[in-house]
Amino acid sequence: MNIHAEQVTLAERVQQESTRIRRVQDALLDELERFGLQIHGEGIRQPFASVRLQEDPFDHSVALMGQWRNPLGMNQGSIQILENGQVFAEFDVLVVHPQRPAWFIEAVTAWGNDKGIKAELRLIPVPGA
C-alpha cells in the first residue's frame, strides 16, 4: 500500500490500520497477562491521546504514529505503523518484576508485521539488587 501516492487523510489511515492496532494491543496485553500484570495495561485499549502521519525523509513512506498518555497527561506509550505493515509499540509498566525481584519492568514492547507480532517485557536491573 503506497499511502503517499493516495494522499490518505489521518482519519482514513487510522481506520485502515485498525486491525493492526488491535493485534498490537492484543500482543502487549497478552504479554502482561503472562506475568499477572494485566492491571498495568489498562490504558492500552484506550484511544490514542494523539496520532499523526510522519513522512520518512529518505523514502517518503508515511508512518502512522500514535501516543498513549496516562491520566495525568504524561506520555505512557507509543505505536508506529509503517506503510509496509511493520509495527513497533511500547507501553510503560514501571514495576518490579513479580518473579524476578532483581529486575524492574520498564515497559512491554511489541514488534512485527502481518505474519506475526512478538512481545516482551523490557527489563532493567534494580540498582543494588
Residue 39 CA from chain centroid, whole number: 17
Mean of pLDDT values over 92-103:
94
pLDDT, averaged across the chain:
93
Where in the chain are the domains?
3-125
Q: How confident is the model at residue 5 (pLDDT cuts 50, 70, 90)?
A: very low
Mean of pLDDT values over 1-18:
77
**CA distances for 62 relative to 6, 9, 10, angstroms:** 11, 11, 11
**CA distances for 129 relative to 92, 95, 104, angstroms:** 21, 14, 10
Sequence letter at residue 96: V
Q: What's the CA gap between 44 and 82, in Å, rounded?
A: 19
